[in-house]
Amino acid sequence: MDNQEGIIKLLKEVGAIVNGHFVYASGKHGEIYINKDAIYLYPQKLYWLCLLIAGHFSSVDVDVVVGPVLGGIPLSQWVAYHLSEINGRGGKEALAVYAEKTEDKNGFIFNRGYDKVIAGKRVLIVEDIITTGNSARKVIKATHSAGGIVIGLGALVNRGGAKINDFCGISNFFSLVDLKLNSWDESDCPLCLKRVPIDNKIGHGRAL
Ligand SMILES: [Zn+2]
């Protein structure tokens, strides 16, 4: 079992990857749902996942790890913790801060004086799930606006096929798991055809 298979197994065990018949936010139907909130129930597992992200960036000089609220907060803490523990950094501690949503909810901003913490610093951005990459792009933009130098983007799951070129100015994009999620219009959905009931507990099927 390679790393990726082991991580998918772990995410299934904690209920973060669920198989069934779901309606996505786009309205399309699919057979896999990612329930990212389930990951944060298990700090020991998150510790291990963040160790793998930190391991990927171990040869990169990182001053500050940035995560967007809310899931990015524990991620940034654990990744910074592991980076600080890595040999060869000479005991240099990596800091962790989080980006908050702007008032209009359309972007991210650094409050609490965190903008000053990242100004002129080498920043690693961490995300839980990357779908379109839109949220990560906004965090990158906010980091640049605060004067930070974004050196990489690390994620738990890339579920939308995002590529490094989707993130302007990023030279190091890494995700623990790349998942291809098939999705269909309701009229073409093979699960609907087989009359598999739509999951009404998670996903957007609950509204139906
Ligand atoms: Zn369906």
Decide: 139 and 167 in contact? Cβ < 8 Å. no
CATH architecture of structural domain 3-207? 3-Layer(aba) Sandwich (3.40)
Q: What is the pLDDT of residue 46?
A: 96
Q: What is the pLDDT of residue 91?
A: 77
Whole-angstrom Cα distance, residue 136 to residue 126?
8
Structure token pair of residue 102? 């702007």
Collapsing DSSP to helix, strand or coil, 22 comes out as strand
Residue 189 Cα to ligand 1 middle (Å): 5
Give mean pLDDT, residues 144-148.
97
> Does an H or E element contain 48, and which?
helix 43-56
* Residue 138 pLDDT greater than 50, yes or no: yes
Of 1-5, 45-49, 87-91, 200-204, which range is least confident?
87-91
Q: What is the pLDDT of residue 206?
A: 59
Residue 196 Cα to ligand 1 middle (Å): 8
> Does an H or E element contain 156, and which?
strand 149-158
Residue 97 Cα to ligand 1 middle (Å): 40
Decide: 69 and 100 in contact? Cβ < 8 Å. yes
Residue 29 Cα to ligand 1 middle (Å): 5
Name which residue leads in pLDDT, 119 or 1.
Answer: 119
Q: What is the pLDDT of residue 2?
A: 66
Round the average pLDDT of the chain to a whole number and report it. Answer: 92
Per-residue pLDDT band at 92 (split at 50, 70, 90): confident
pTM comes to 0.91
Q: List residues, by chain if needed, whose CB lies under 5 Å from ion ligand 1.
A: 29, 189, 191-192
Query: Which of 88, 83, 37 has the alpha carbon at shortest distance from 64?
Result: 83
Residue 184 Cα to ligand 1 middle (Å): 7
φ/ψ of 11, rounded to 5, equals -65, -30
Per-residue pLDDT band at 208 (split at 50, 70, 90): very low
Residue 111 Cα to ligand 1 middle (Å): 42
Structure token pair of residue 174? 């890494």
Residue 205 Cα to ligand 1 middle (Å): 10
Of 39-48, 146-155, 166-175, which range is least confident?
166-175
Residue 6 Cα to ligand 1 middle (Å): 28
Q: What is the pLDDT of residue 116?
A: 97
Collapsing DSSP to helix, strand or coil, 142 comes out as helix
Give mean pLDDT, residues 195-202.
89
